[in-house]
Amino acid sequence: QVQLVESGGGLVQPGGSLRLSCAASGSAFNILIMGWYRQAPGKQRELVARVTKSDSTNYADAVAGRFTISRDNAKNTVYLQMNSLKPEDTGVYYCTVKILPQSSSRSEDCWGQGTQVTVSS
Tens-place pLDDT, residues 38-79 = 999 899 999 999 999 889 999 999 999 999 999 998 999 999
The DSSP secondary structure of the chain, one letter per residue, reads -EEEEEE--EEE-TT--EEEEEEEEESSEEEEEEEEEEE-TTS--EEEEEEETT--EEE-TTTTTTEEEEEETTTTEEEEEE-S--GGG-EEEEEEEEEEETT-SS-EEEE---EEEEE--
Tell whether the model's pLDDT for residue 27 goes beyond 80: yes
pLDDT exceeds 80 at position 101: yes
Confidence at residue 80, expressed as pLDDT on a 0 to 100 scale: 98
pLDDT band at 33 (very low <50, low <70, confident <90, very high): very high
How far apart, in whole angstroms, are the C-alpha atoms of residue 87 and residue 13?
8
Predicted local distance difference test score (pLDDT) of residue 22: 97
What is the average pLDDT across 102-120?
Answer: 95
Instruction: Output the pLDDT for position 1.
Output: 74
* pLDDT score of 16 more than 90: yes
Encoded amino acid at 46, one letter: E
31 has pLDDT over 90: yes
C-beta separation of 32 from 53 below 8 A: yes
Phi, psi of 87 (to 5 degrees): -55, -35
